[in-house]
């Protein structure tokens, strides 16, 4: 049987500070199969973001500590690698390429000093054998595909110049 695309097994994560130990995740296990869409649902503070951030190793450590578990990723359904044990080069190959994250807060997760277009083009440049010019073109095409109005102009705008989806934007 093919290995799942992603298999989280017995994952436990705590946040350890001088004041207290917050056991944010306790023995979490679930699989995501190829082609499957999985939603994590739960009340605020139940650990959805911590689970997602742990997959790409984006939790600040300290204070985050992995107490148990594995995060097995399989690109081909046969070999599995534990994302918790990849070195920084191997992680960089996967981040933004095989596994990506759309953050909850665009105003804090995009870099304010670079244009929106450049930040999308950068992901393409880092992972594809392409030129800056082609990456720029492809970023604009992606803006078109997701139906952003006036993609060329959005490419040149900084994050604070875009609407965050709220009426004030």
Ligand X SMILES: Nc1ncnc2c1ncn2[C@@H]1O[C@H](COP(=O)(O)OP(=O)(O)OP(=O)(O)O)[C@@H](O)[C@H]1O
By CB under 6 A, name the binding residues for ligand X: 15, 22, 24, 42, 44-50, 60, 63
Residue among 64 and 139 whose Cβ is closer to ligand X: 64
Question: Does residue 22 bind Mg ion (CB under 5 A)?
Answer: no
**Helix-strand-coil split of the chain, %, nearest 5:** 35, 20, 45
Copy the structure tokens of residue 65. Answer: 């500590």
The region, left, alpha or beta by phi > 0 then psi within -120 to 50, assigned to residue 45 is left
Q: For residue 40, what are its two tokens?
A: 């994590």
Per-residue burial over 100-118, b if 16 or more Cβ lie within 10 Å, else e, is eeeeeeeeeebeeeebbbb
- 49 belongs to the binding site for Mg ion (CB under 5 A): yes
| Pair of tokens at residue 133 | 């010019």
If contact means CB under 5 to 8 A according to the sort of partner, which of ligand X, Mg ion, none does residue 169 touch?
Answer: none
The nearest distance, CB 48 to ligand X, in angstroms, is 3
**Interacting partner of 24 out of ligand X, Mg ion, none (Cβ under 5 to 8 A depending on kind):** ligand X
Q: Give the nearest distance from C-beta 20 to ligand X in angstroms.
A: 10
46 binds, among ligand X, Mg ion, none (CB under 5 to 8 A by kind): ligand X
Binding partner of 142, given Mg ion, ligand X, none, CB within 5-8 angstroms per partner class: none
Q: How far apart are CA 77 and CA 92, in angstroms?
A: 21
Q: Give the nearest distance from C-beta 28 to Mg ion in angstroms.
A: 15
Stretch that binds Mg ion, among 45-53, 67-75, 90-98, 115-123 (CB under 5 A): 45-53
């Amino acid at each position: 049987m093919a290995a799942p695309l992603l298999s989280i097994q017995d994952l436990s994560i705590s946040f350890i500070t001088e004041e207290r130990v917050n056991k944010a995740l306790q023995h979490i296990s679930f699989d995501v199969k190829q082609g499957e869409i999985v939603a994590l649902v739960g009340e605020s503070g139940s650990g959805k973001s911590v689970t997602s951030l742990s997959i790409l190793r984006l939790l600040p450590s300290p204070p985050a500590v992995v107490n148990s578990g594995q995060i097995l990723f399989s690109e081909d359904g046969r070999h599995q690698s534990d994302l918790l044990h990849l070195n920084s080069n191997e992680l960089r190959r996967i981040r933004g390429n095989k596994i990506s994250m759309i953050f909850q807060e665009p105003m804090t997760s995009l870099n304010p000093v670079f244009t929106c277009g450049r930040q999308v083009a950068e992901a393409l440049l880092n992972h594809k054998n392409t030129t800056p010019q082609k990456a720029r073109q492809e970023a604009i095409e992606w803006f078109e595909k997701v139906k952003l109005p006036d993609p060329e102009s959005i490419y040149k705008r900084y994050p604070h110049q875009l609407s965050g989806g709220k009426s004030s934007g």
